[in-house]
Amino acid sequence: MAGSSPGMWAGARRVGSARRVALLLVLCSLVACSGDKVTGRRGSALPAAALSGFTYVVPVPMPPGRPGDVIATSDAGPDARIAGADRRVVVYHSTSVTGRDIAVSGVLFVPPGPAPGDGWPVVSWAHGTTGMADRCAPSERPNLYYNEYAQVVRTFVTAGYAVAATDFPGLGTPGVHSYLIGVDEGNSVVDIVTAARHLVARLSPTWFAVGHSQGGQAVLFATRAAARAPALHLAGAIAIAPASHLDLILPAVMGGADPYDLSYAVYSVIGLSAVDPHIALSSLLGPAGRSRLRLILEDACLEQADASFARLSPSAILRISPQQVTQLNAELGRDDDPDNVSTMGPVLVIQGATDQDVSPVVTQLMVQHLHRLGADVTERVYPGRNHDAVVGPSLCDQLAWMTTHGGRPATPCTPQPSEP
């Protein structure tokens, strides 16, 4: 992103497939979800609930459950785009930073054929920024919103991993997406692995957390949340161009940084408002921001949000006083920065040297800070690769690193460019 200042970050911006996958969800609130089958207590057929617009239906009141318990699921069958993996949507219990029981959606891919004797290890995939509206949930897109994300999942499935890909809280499920709230994201990354093991008996307890951009930040939080699933073993985490130093975004945007960053600044403020009732969006948005709020929350994904902010000044979108900037920065640093405390277990950080969305300098500062906190972090920088272009070429290195940390045996792998 030309003109980004150090500390700015973003998700990929390319337009994903506009086609929505309308999946029916079999309610599991009254059923026993065991092995690979979903049945009622007496094996009876259950009613199905469809998507309401782009939002997965969640029973009201929501059935009680522990983190990772399944609320609803639907098996879409083999997915030719993802190496023939069995594709199924799942809605599951998770926990917000406020301690509230919430429903989160995601999608699970299980490799075809017989599982290894100890079961398929699991990759919990965390996506980059797609938007704030439910229509931006990756589980509703055949390509998981970006083509390189389908490439990532296909690569892991082919290598013998099941993949569980969360949408994050508020994307595809009721409520506002708590964008970049690290605890919310980290919990959802962990809890979808628990949900996957409720649905599929032939999964190993060994799992890895892998994410890009927003998702890179999420998996760093997930290393600390892994203890909420003591029956599972987090073998390692891979953070690709992770968002960090979030307390720099508002000063940069208000100071005239790249206008594209307006979307991320607005998303960040909305994300805070989703978990802090004391933040009144109406008092922080200018006229152009208020007039676009419904569009951002209900209709627009990232590309459309960027377009709607084109040629507008930051002051037309945001009306934030210096005192409010200080307050919001404190919350962004507390809730969003992934290096406030040490990560847990081995972590591989992947960074493109020419990334203008997540600055290599900022990522290096984050890694150095985590080292000072005692974290086991290795950073690999890829010359000539930007924010999106680093994803594909690093996949072979990711697989090799996972092999050395208890993953599947290494197989021949040829680096490929990120799929456009």
The pLDDT confidence band at residue 260, using thresholds 50, 70 and 90, is: low
259-272 mean pLDDT: 88
Amino acid at 306: D
Whole-angstrom distance, CA of residue 248 vs CA of residue 121:
37
The pLDDT confidence band at residue 52, using thresholds 50, 70 and 90, is: low
Q: Is the pLDDT of residue 302 over 50?
A: yes
250-277 mean pLDDT: 86
The token pair that represents 153 in the structure block: 């999942």
Q: What angle do CA 232, 237, 239 make, to 5 degrees?
A: 150
Q: Is the pLDDT of residue 17 over 80?
A: no
Residue 231: the pLDDT is 96
Q: Tokens 């429903």 — which residue? A: 103
The pLDDT confidence band at residue 205, using thresholds 50, 70 and 90, is: very high
Q: What is the pTM of this model?
A: 0.90
Phi, psi of 360 (to 5 degrees): -55, -35
91-111 mean pLDDT: 97
Whole-angstrom distance, CA of residue 251 vs CA of residue 261:
11
| Mean residue pLDDT across the chain | 87
150-164 mean pLDDT: 98
Could you report the per-residue pLDDT of 303-337, keeping only the tens digit for each?
Answer: 999 999 888 888 899 999 999 999 999 999 999 99
266-288 mean pLDDT: 94
Residue 38: the pLDDT is 29
